[in-house]
A = this chain, B = another copy of it.
Amino acid sequence: MNISHFELLCEVARVKSFSKAAKLLHLSQPAVSSQIHSIEDYYGAKLFERSTSGVTLTPVGEIVYQYAKEILRLHEKLEKEIDDLLNTENQKLIIGASSTIGNYAIPCTIWTFKEKYPCTQIKLEVKNTETILSMLANDELDLALLEEPIPKNDGNLKKQPVLNDELLVITPPKKPWVDKTSITLEELKKAPLIIREQGSGLRYMFEKAISGLNVKLPEDFNVIAEMGSTEAIKSAVEAGLGVSICSSLAIKKEIRSGTIHPLRIENAEFQVNYLIVYKNDKQLNNAAKRFIRFLAGPGKDPFC
């Protein structure tokens, strides 16, 4: 039994479903199933009653759940106490992030993290993916937050999924877009398209995604502009100049206020997997390790 077993158990008990817990913990569903089985095996008792609509704790499971929460609480307290005792060198953390995650997801994460570990000093660098990768290689960063796939990954990088998001086509809230909820790839190829610059993770991801469909950027599209920032692109789309592609994370506010109209691409999965990435051989300091556990671990979504 280890701490992450307890975390997994608590997460499953909380959401009453193996598959939901798997998503939240960035694990496959069979992995969760197998973990729970081995916990049950360890204690020699069934902990969850399985049904078609999820799982519920058995009486024994309830006991284990209560203790697991208590043990986790203790352990968290332990880590905080260690935190207070460590020298400040261990508390500095430089994180790099690509635009989308750096601008729209991480700021709030850092805030939540600092609430939990107030001693940590975090510096955030938001650049495009290529730049972040070279900074990581030069040890200018402890950790990076990037999107999959990672270009030119020579195997010296360790990665861990932390967040799943969806790539959407963003359009002005007017005809012909505003009546649709989705768009075909053919329609998109003809639409006035604004894209990010070379070296941007979003662009790389989009290129990768469409290359599987035998379509190429920029030649197969009607590219009307190339811009170096998501905010610039959003402004252009809001102004009705064209359409673009971005992560749903980046347009939460605009969707709510109705200034941007999002569309799904038909018959295609444009999932974005955000990863926390670090050098395989690098000795991570305490703050970095904790930050990784904070993001990849359980609990309510650390992104906002």
From residue 1 to 22 of chain A, which have CB atoms closer than 8 A to chain B? Answer: 1-3, 5
| B-contacting 9-mer, from A62-70, A141-149, A174-182, A252-260 | A62-70
- The residues of B that contact A63 with a CB separation of less than 8 Å are 78, 81-82, 85
Task: Bits for A73-102, please: 1 = Cβ < 8 Å to B, else 0.
Answer: 011011101100110001000000000000
Q: Nearest chain-B residue to A289 (Cβ)?
A: B44
Q: Which residue of B lies closest to A81 (CB)?
A: B63
Number of chain A residues close to chain B: CB under 8 A: 30
The distance from the CB of A206 to the nearest CB of chain B, in whole angstroms, is 38
Given known pairs A1-B2, A285-B44, the reply for A74 and B82 (CB within 8 Å) is no
Cα–Cα distance between A127 and B286 once the two chains are bound (Å) = 55
Which chain B residue shows the least CB distance to A288? Answer: B44
Do A90 and B44 touch across chains, with their CB atoms under 8 A apart? yes
Bound state CA distance, A5 and B5, in angstroms? 14
B44 contacts A86, C-beta separation under 8 Å: yes
State the CA gap A75–B6 with chains docked (Å).
Answer: 11
In Å, the complex CA distance between A64 and B42 comes to 25
Are B2 and A45 in contact, CB atoms less than 8 angstroms apart?
no
| Chain B residues whose CB sits within 8 angstroms of the CB of A289 once the complex forms | 42, 44
Are B45 and A60 interface neighbours, CB within 8 A? no
Can you list 29 A-B contacts with CB-CB less than 8 angstroms, sorted by A residue number? A1-B2, A1-B75, A2-B3, A43-B286, A44-B82, A44-B86, A44-B90, A44-B285, A44-B286, A44-B290, A45-B85, A45-B86, A45-B90, A60-B82, A60-B85, A60-B86, A63-B78, A63-B82, A63-B85, A64-B78, A64-B82, A67-B74, A67-B75, A67-B77, A67-B78, A70-B74, A71-B71, A71-B74, A74-B74
Chain A residues with a Cβ under 8 A of chain B = 1-3, 5, 42-45, 59-60, 63-64, 67, 70-71, 74-75, 77-79, 81-82, 85-86, 90, 284-286, 289-290
